């Protein structure tokens, strides 16, 4: 079947739908919603059997949905309507929600229903929920809807609020008036729901030190207390703000844009506020070991179960700044010294890693210099993993990875993926050659020809195809929680296996042989020579592409690599 995906952005859900439909044998094209005339032209050229909109913030023109079947993916249960479905679900403390695939009609979100799938609402931010439970349910609903569309005898269900299973309602846009936090009255649970319902966009508009910011993120603090609304601590770039009955951590801030001012973007909260505003606010560190046993915010956690160590890291948006890379490297080195046989790397949910932190780089006084520091810090981390020969290292991907984040995963001995994972093993869309020892690890896994193809085609790769190519070693279905339990069982079985000692001997011998054939330093030097040119050379596209990415500049037309 010829299926055209129409989306406001080629986001995580659109990528996942794209990879799944291709794996099911469909001819899949993508058109970004950049204008009605452009969409009309693409539809006319592609001649789809079906148009599917996984993520759309604007309406499909009537002359298209009256001529072609158009199915819309709406992140709400049957009957739910409006642009802020997940925001309301989190704000109101819903424990179960749904995703509905419905046909486009004149009235928004009111068309006949082709499929609907429920999902549990995890206690987390909106974007994390979207990339996990929502995406899982959406994919089930999409595949069912496509299957039903292929069945000419299936008739979609008209929206009927008298039916007992239609429990949704029309809800207004979740404007800032609904998000406002009253620090003198709202308890911690209320504050966290408001913050999580706005994460990662649009944030909660609030005032700090007489200035207006959008607050991004929201994590509980179990010990620190202070005057409600005051900033009482910092930690690794985040600030801690007291509530009437506790405190919450805010990792990122975005200044409110003035009418005639430049566009703003999210930054680590401490970087945005600066040392003058935070004078006298203490830095309150927590070790990864301690964080694993507390209900507090930390990007790093370390725990052990028997002969297995688990180093968990969770960075907002999957981006890793120079400082974050260095902190993770320090934690990795400590973990590597522990008396464990197997070391598992990766967050329990959401992104594994997306590589260097473009927002922090954009905000730097010298973006080229900060880019250089960031890529070297990533390389130091990858090198430490590659040269660990006395432990079996596992990358456990519960969520997506891209660019240097994929190469970070490939530094491990084995890569285990949840079936929902999407990988983007390329750098070219940001105008970069790439580093993180990819010229060593990627061909070693998939061969030189496929490595060139993956980095040149710049298309997402689903987990099952990644395993077929050699990018991943094991792929399992299930939720993030089920994946985590599976990882623990498999890792502990590896640690107890009698052949582990032989595997470690073989690993050490292979690393020595590879080093003798071509030192790791040679791969690094070659890659960094290309990256230096990308960062410092004249007429290089990287700085423009980075700036457009950070400031969310929409392209004029759909990029050619998405055209089927």
pLDDT confidence of 259, banded at 50, 70, 90? Answer: confident
Asked if residue 200 has a cis previous peptide bond (ω within 30° of 0), the answer is yes
Whether the per-residue pLDDT at 195 is higher than 80: the answer is yes
Residue-wise pLDDT for 310-323, tens only, equals 999 999 999 999 99
Mean pLDDT of the chain: 97
* Strand arrangement of the beta sheet that strand 211-216 belongs to: 204-208, 211-216, 252-255, 267-268
Residue tagged 């990864």 (tokens): 288
pLDDT at 68: 98
Alpha helices in 415-519, H assignment, sequence order? 438-446, 448-457, 463-469, 480-496, 500-517
What's the rounded mean pLDDT across residues 417-445? 98
Average pLDDT over every residue of 244-265: 94
Radius of gyration of the chain (CA): 24
Cβ-contact 71, 101 below 8 angstroms: yes
Q: Which two tokens stand for residue 70?
A: 């158009």
Q: Are strands 27-32 and 2-7 parallel, antiparallel or unpaired?
A: parallel
Interaxial angle between packed helices 438-446 and 448-457, expressed in degrees from 0 to 180 and rounded to the nearest 10: 110
Query: Which pair of structure tokens corresponds to residue 283?
Result: 């830095």
Cβ-count burial 437-460 (b if 16+ within 10 Å, e if not) = bbbbbbeebbeeeebeebbeebbb
Q: In this structure, what token pair is assigned to residue 142?
A: 């999409």
For each of the domains in the chain, give its residue range(s) and CATH number, in order of start.
2-150 (3.40.50.170), 181-273 (3.10.25.10), 299-549 (3.90.226.10)
For 76-94, what is the mean pLDDT? Answer: 97
Share of the chain above pLDDT 70, in %: 100
Under the banding of pLDDT at 50, 70 and 90, the label for residue 564 is low
- In the numeric block, the tokens 């987990």 are attached to 463
> CA angle, corner 434, sides to 430 and 437, nearest 5?
160
Find, among 478, 352, 334, the residue nearest to 409 by Cα. Answer: 352
CA distance 265 to 359: 7
Residue with tokens 């990533």: 378
C-beta of residue 353 within 8 angstroms of C-beta of residue 409: yes
What pLDDT score does 5 carry?
Answer: 98
Residue 263 banded pLDDT, cuts 50, 70, 90: confident
pLDDT in tens, 371-422: 999 999 999 999 999 999 999 999 999 999 999 999 999 999 999 999 999 9
Task: Check whether 423 has a pLDDT greater than 70.
Answer: yes
Provide the pLDDT for residue 260. Answer: 86
């Amino acid at each position: 079947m010829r299926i055209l995906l129409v989306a406001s952005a080629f986001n995580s859900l659109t990528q996942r739908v794209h990879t799944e439909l291709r794996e099911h044998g469909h001819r899949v094209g993508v058109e970004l919603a950049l204008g009605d005339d452009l969409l009309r032209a693409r539809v006319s050229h592609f001649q789809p059997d079906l148009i599917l909109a996984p993520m759309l913030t604007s309406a499909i023109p009537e002359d298209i949905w009256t001529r072609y079947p158009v199915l819309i993916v709406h992140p709400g249960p049957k009957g739910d309507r409006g642009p802020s479905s997940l925001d309301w679900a989190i704000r109101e403390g819903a424990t179960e929600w749904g995703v509905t695939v419905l046909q486009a009609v004149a009235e928004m979100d009111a068309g006949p229903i082709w499929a609907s799938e429920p999902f549990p609402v995890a206690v987390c931010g909106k974007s994390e929920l979207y990339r996990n439970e929502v995406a899982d349910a959406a994919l089930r609903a999409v595949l069912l809807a496509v299957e039903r569309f292929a069945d000419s005898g299936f008739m979609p269900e008209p929206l009927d609020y008298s039916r007992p299973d239609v429990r949704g309602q029309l809800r207004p846009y979740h404007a800032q008036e609904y998000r406002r936090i009253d620090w003198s009255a709202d308890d911690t649970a209320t504050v966290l729901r408001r913050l999580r319902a706005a994460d990662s966009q649009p944030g909660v508009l609030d005032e700090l030190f007489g200035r207006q910011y959008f607050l991004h993120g929201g994590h509980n603090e179990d010990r620190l207390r202070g005057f409600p609304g005051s900033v009482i601590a910092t930690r690794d770039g985040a600030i801690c703000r007291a509530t009437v009955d506790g405190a919450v951590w805010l990792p990122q801030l975005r200044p409110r844009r003035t009418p005639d001012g430049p566009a703003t973007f999210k930054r680590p909260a401490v970087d945005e506020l600066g040392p003058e505003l935070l004078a006298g606010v203490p830095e309150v560190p927590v070790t990864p070991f301690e964080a694993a046993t507390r209900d507090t915010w930390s990007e790093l956690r370390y725990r052990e179960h028997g002969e297995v160590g688990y180093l968990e890291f969770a960075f907002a948006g999957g981006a890793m700044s120079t400082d974050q890379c260095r902190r993770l490297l320090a934690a990795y080195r400590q973990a590597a010294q522990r008396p464990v046989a197997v070391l598992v790397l990766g967050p329990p949910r959401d992104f594994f890693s997306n590589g260097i932190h473009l927002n922090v780089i954009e905000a730097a006084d010298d973006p080229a210099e900060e880019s250089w520091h960031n890529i070297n810090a990533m390389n130091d981390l990858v090198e430490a993993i590659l040269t660990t020969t006395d432990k079996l290292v596992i990358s456990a991907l519960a969520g997506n990875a891209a660019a240097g984040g994929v190469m970070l995963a490939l530094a491990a001995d084995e890569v285990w993926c949840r079936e929902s994972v999407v990988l983007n093993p390329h750098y070219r869309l940001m105008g970069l050659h790439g580093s993180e020892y990819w010229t060593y690890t990627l061909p070693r896994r998939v061969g030189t020809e496929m490595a060139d193809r993956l980095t040149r085609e710049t298309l997402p790769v689903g987990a099952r195809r990644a395993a077929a190519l050699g990018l991943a070693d094991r792929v399992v279905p299930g939720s993030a929680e089920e994946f985590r339990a599976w990882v623990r069982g498999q890792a502990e079985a590896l640690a107890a296996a009698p052949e582990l000692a032989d595997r470690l001997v073989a690993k050490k011998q292979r690393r020595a042989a590879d080093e003798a054939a071509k030192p790791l330093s040679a791969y690094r030097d070659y890659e960094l020579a290309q990256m230096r040119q990308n960062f410092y050379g004249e007429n290089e596209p990287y700085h423009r592409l980075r700036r457009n990415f950070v400031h969310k500049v929409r392209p004029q037309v759909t990029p050619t690599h998405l055209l089927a």
